[in-house]
Structure formats: C-alpha cells, structure tokens
Amino acid sequence: MKLIKKILLTTDFSKGAEIATRTALGLADKLGAEVIPIHVLPDSLAEGIDRDVLMKAVRARFRELTSELSSRGVVVKEPIVGSGTPFLEITEQADLIGADLIVLGGSVNAAHRGDRIGTTTSRVLRNAHKPVWVVPLDGEPIPKSILCAVDFSDGTNRVMRNATHLARALGAKLSFFTAVRPLSTMLSYLDFDVAGAPDDRALKAANDEMEKALQNQDLSGIDWSSQVVSGVPEDAIVEAVGAQSSDLLILGATGKSRARAFLLGSVAEKVTRRLPCSTLLISGEDVIKFCVDFETTDGERLYKHGVELLKRGFSEEAVAALDRCLVRNPYHVPAWESLAAAHERLGNKSRSKYAAGKAKDIYDSVWKQRVENEIRSRKRVD
C-alpha cells in the first residue's frame, strides 16, 4: 500500500542536496513512493556559457543519481531538467506531475543572512500548493521524533492528521505542541507595566482546544504526547525541538489569519529560517492520503483492504472499504468486527456497538445452525 506516490526531489548537486536525497530515498523506501528529481538552470546564467553543454552536464549528473537511487530499490522516474526562475519551475512542475511532496535541502550559503535556508527554498515555501519538506545539513534522513506545532486555525486537523500518519508509518514518537503568546508581549506598547498580566485564561482555552483537536485523531499504536506552554511561539517552538530532540517539525502553511504570506512572514518563516531540524510545511493538501478502490467487486479484497487501512490509521477510509464489503456479503463476520473497531477509533460509539452486535448475531446464528445440523446428522446415524 503506497502512502505517498510521488516525491519531487529538488537538487543542485550541492552538499545540501545530498542530504535531501538521503531523506527522499528513506521516505520512498518507507512509504512506497517513486522519486522524480528536478534541477533548474536559472535564466540569470552568465553570458557566454553554452547552455547545451550545461544541460549535457546536468543530465550526466542525473544519470549518476538515478543509478544510485535505483541500486537501492527506489523507483526513479525520468528527471526533470528545467530552466527559468527556480522556485516557479519547481512549484509548477510539482503541480503538473501531481507530486505529493517536495523535498529540498538547506543552504550553506545563506548563513550570512542569519538563516539556514536559501532564497529558492524560502520562495518555494511561500508559493507551493504541495507539502514541502526542508532538510538542514545536519538533518536526520528519517525522523525518530516528530514535533507537530499547531495554532488551532482551520488547517489544524489536517496538520495533526498528517503528523499522525507519518509517525505511525515511520515508527516515530509524536508530540503535539502549541505556544500561547503572553499578554505582556502583546501589550508591551502600553505605558503601564503588564509583566504580571494573567495568562491563565488563555492557557486554559489552549488546553481545551488541544484536547478537542486530539479527539479527532486516531492515535492508536503511536507513542504520543501533547504540551501547551506560554511563550513567544517562534522561540517556544525552537526550544521545544531542542528539548525533545525532535528530528522533524511539522507546521501548517496558513494560520488564523488565513493568509499564507502573513503566516510565512511571521511565525512559520521565523522558525523555518532558523531550521532547528527537518521541517515539513503542510499547505492545502495532505502528504499521506489513500483512496478506497470503489471499482472492485471482490468482497474479500475489500475486507483485506479495510483491515490494512485500519492498521495504518486510515479509520474513515477503512469504514468506506468495509461498508462496501458488507454490501456484497452482509454475513461477513470479520468485516463487521473490523467495522466496529474502526467506528470505535472514530468515536462513533453507537455505530461501533451496532456493528459488534451484528457480528455476534451472525456468529450465534451460524453456530446455532451448525449445532442443529450436527444433531440431525446424529439422529440419521442412530
């Protein structure tokens, strides 16, 4: 079962790109994805350079990269060699090929600006419709500890759901985190001392929001925790990454303002520029998604499909597959039992109870029929 189908791997063949390549390789291996490498030759190349010679050199490097990835069992599609403005070419190609994820490396040359990402990466983060995974030079290819930072905006459920699926698929620990900005920092422009302004109410509200958001997630089989703190969000997030030794930070691309540029101009941009660890920015699309094959008419296949979806944490999709199975065979006891488990995970108590009851009724009926048949067969022998 493929959880990610296509990874667009951006590369300029630098040290940062090597780290990104290792991450794309690890993700492709774990999640069953294929990798499509891309390199963009900028229009600003110095005059006098033969572009054909450059393209030939890039394709030669791609042959080496493709050979390396293929030797490790990863499916590598035809590399894309583009020209133009790099961030535009990358984001447009991601849309054209239907990529599920864009993977980029951090920058060595951006340190003089006080950040760890380059101009192209920054612009991709601002403009991509697809989720973007940025890997620093010292980043771990496959995370063992994930920090999911949320602000309870409209996209929070999507961010938490993707973090949950990734943690389960990668076998990583997962921590949900939010920081409540202290009133003292928001009212510092006033002339009176607000250092002691009460934050208890805001913290309680954030804890309530966190508890409510967690109820929407299927966290079965995951080592997870949650934390609500008082602090300047961008600083608190970076501190939490260090305190928890997180390998991956997951953030939403839009905040409560619903304006992508606004968020990336504040909390998310400040955090990603510091790039405390590998960072995944979730926009309007899921990284991990799975659709039920409604074309199949094989009830047993639908049942196995539903069980596998449930195992991987896709409870809603599991319900859809199991429902289709039971349309074809309403006496499929294991399907009713799995449906009960799926509804239980989703918090649908009444539906779970109904499905479990159906499984018991069918089982009892079959058992009763077997007993009656056994009695009749014995009487015939007598």
179 and 100, same domain (yes or no): no
What is the CATH classification number for the domain harbouring 16? 3.40.50.620
Distance between first and last Cα of the chain = 54
278 and 304, same domain (yes or no): no
In a domain, 53, yes or no: yes
Render pLDDT for 178-214 as a digit per residue (tens, 0 to 9). Answer: 999 887 665 555 554 555 455 788 899 999 999 999 9
In a domain, 158, yes or no: yes
Indicate the pLDDT class of residue 220, thresholds 50, 70 and 90.
confident
104 and 156, same domain (yes or no): no
Domain end point (choices 105, 122, 141): 141
326 and 270, same domain (yes or no): no
In a domain, 294, yes or no: no
The answer to whether the beta carbons of residues 248 and 280 sit under 8 Å apart is yes
58 and 182, same domain (yes or no): no
Domain count, the chain: 3
CA 222 – CA 238 distance, rounded (Å): 23
The larger pLDDT score, comparing residue 85 to residue 189, is at: 85
147 and 285, same domain (yes or no): yes
Tell me: pLDDT of 164 over 60: yes
CA distance to 15, 210, 228, 256, per residue, from 205 (Å) = 44, 9, 10, 15
Tell me: pLDDT of 116 over 80: no
CA 105 – CA 346 distance, rounded (Å): 37
In a domain, 121, yes or no: yes
In a domain, 202, yes or no: yes
The predicted model scores a pTM of 0.78
In a domain, 371, yes or no: yes
Domain end point (choices 141, 174, 194): 141
119 and 223, same domain (yes or no): no
CA distance to 62, 152, 212, 289, 314, per residue, from 217 (Å) = 40, 14, 10, 15, 10
120 and 159, same domain (yes or no): no
In a domain, 349, yes or no: yes
Tell me: pLDDT of 271 over 50: yes
CA 207 – CA 278 distance, rounded (Å): 26
In a domain, 344, yes or no: yes
The answer to whether the beta carbons of residues 263 and 232 sit under 8 Å apart is no
281 and 153, same domain (yes or no): yes
CA distance to 5, 23, 156, 268, 281, per residue, from 265 (Å) = 31, 27, 19, 7, 14
Stretch 118-135: mean pLDDT: 90
Question: What does pLDDT average to over the chain?
Answer: 83
Q: Phi and psi (nearest 5°) for 5?
A: -90, -45
Range of the domain at 375: 299-381
Q: How many CA atoms lie within 13 A of 81 on its CB side?
A: 13
The larger pLDDT score, comparing residue 29 to residue 298, is at: 29
Instruction: Quote the tokens at residue 105.
Output: 């490396």
Quote the radius of gyration of the chain (alpha carbons, Å).
26
Domain end point (choices 141, 160, 192): 141
40 and 175, same domain (yes or no): no
193 and 114, same domain (yes or no): no
188 and 279, same domain (yes or no): yes
